[in-house]
Amino acid sequence: MTNRTRILTGITTTGTPHLGNYAGAIRPAILASRDSNADSFYFLADYHALIKCDDPLRIQRSRLEIAATWLAGGLDVDRVTFYRQSDIPEIPELTWLLTCVAAKGLLNRAHAYKASVDKNVETGEDPDAGITMGLYSYPVLMAADILMFNAHKVPVGRDQIQHVEMARDIGQRFNHLFGQGKEFFTMPEALIEESVATLPGLDGRKMSKSYDNTIPLFSSAKEMKDAISRIVTDSKAPGEAKDPDNSHLFTLFTAFATPAQADEFRSELLGGLGWGEAKNRLFQLLDNELGEARDKYHQLIERPADLEDILQIGAKKARAVATPFLNELREAVGLRSFVNQVQVAATTKKKAAKAARFVSFREDDGSFRFRLLAADGEQLLLSRNFADGKTAGQVTKQLQSGEPLDVRNDDLSFSVWLQGECVGDSPAFADAAARDAAIAALRVALTPAQD
């Protein structure tokens, strides 16, 4: 079990990345990924995009642009897991499992849903006019994104804090109903960079594609300068003191400046710096900050096949975590195999005889495997691959037959053998004492129950 902090974040693929996306989510997430104590998962939230956009070409283009943005921004795919949400089939399945325990009253309180209802009421429409189940159940899909990988920290904008809190509520509900003393889901925490969690757009409202007030992140220098020139300011002339604390332009500047640069800019505004020159200062700052990344971004856009390869590698890494975990969750809710459904000694009345259990599953290549889990959920053994479920079932029966176990140590792990063949391996343990304790637990778990 890793002690590293798992960090997960994503961005909806419905448009061209803008400064708000970068400052509020992408940049802090990339910085966090460089922490040696971080285990980082980053994804393109393209299922979420379908809630907001019904233009397939826009979805397709945006996925490409978002992928290139992460990489141009400095994401090291050798250190992190970088994937598309739609490449992980376990996520929609987990969404359904969570939907079945999510309270309707909880979803009724979601900000996006309530805002849509309030808008309809104000205009005299039916309260649910134009509201899809995608919008309504959006928080459950986001909960699945987070809980699938048991993220500890979720970098989000301030407007997304509620969704992280809802993920906690739903995860706790699942743990309570199906955990039987085991905490399947880690409770996530929202991670916010207070000063730039939400950036203002050209008109002063939150920078958002839906408001059409964004500054594209990697547009050409000319396009960026033109966008900055449209930032709304007050009517004070050059020479008149400006109020930095009520200036959207100053807020944007401080999101990318060093503390010393921000202090100098504040002093200049208070000293009467004209808005035209102030906008030019912001452009120069952003051009210096983003110029190199902009060049890399456009190089990546011209090589979509390379991006696809990177994402497929990331999907494989993500599914290596998601597939076995979902098998555990399926087992927990009762979606179990009829062929290889085995539990060890669950009927004894002895206090110490809590049940261990076998959990069977099928790999993508069609082979069958099983895990032996202790009563507390610790994995004691992971089987080798078997051609069919019948063979795997026969092995589990042999292991429980009461015959002497052939357990062989391998440094800090061990393997189990039957008739000269290795049938399963343990995980690696922290030390020899932990390994030996696991072997003892294995022997107890496989001892036939006494009447």
Annotated binding site: 12-14, 20-21, 145, 157-159, 199, 206-210
Q: Which two tokens stand for residue 230?
A: 């449209």
Distance CA 229, CA 18 (A): 16
DSSP string, 285-310: HHHHHHHHHHHHHHHHHT-HHHHHHH
Q: What is the DSSP string of 217-270?
A: TT--HHHHHHHHHT-----PPTTS---GGG-HHHHHHHHHS-HHHHHHHHHHHH
Beta carbons of 425 and 379 less than 8 angstroms apart: no
Three-state SS for 324? helix
Sign of CA dihedral 237, 242, 247, 251: positive
Q: Which residues are annotated as a binding site for ATP?
A: 12-14, 20-21, 157-159, 199, 206-210
Nearby residues of 386 by Cβ (< 8 Å), 6 or more positions away: 367, 368, 369, 392, 395
| Residue 377 per-residue DSSP state | S
Binding residues for L-tryptophan: 145
Side chain identity at residue 143, one-letter code: A
CA dist., res. 405 & res. 425, Å (int): 13
C-beta separation of 311 from 330 below 8 A: no
Quick one: which of 432, 390, 393 has its CA closest to 411? 432
Rounded distance between C-alpha atoms, residue 183 and residue 172, angstroms: 8
Cα 40 to Cα 28, 34, 217, 234: the distances in Å are 12, 9, 23, 42
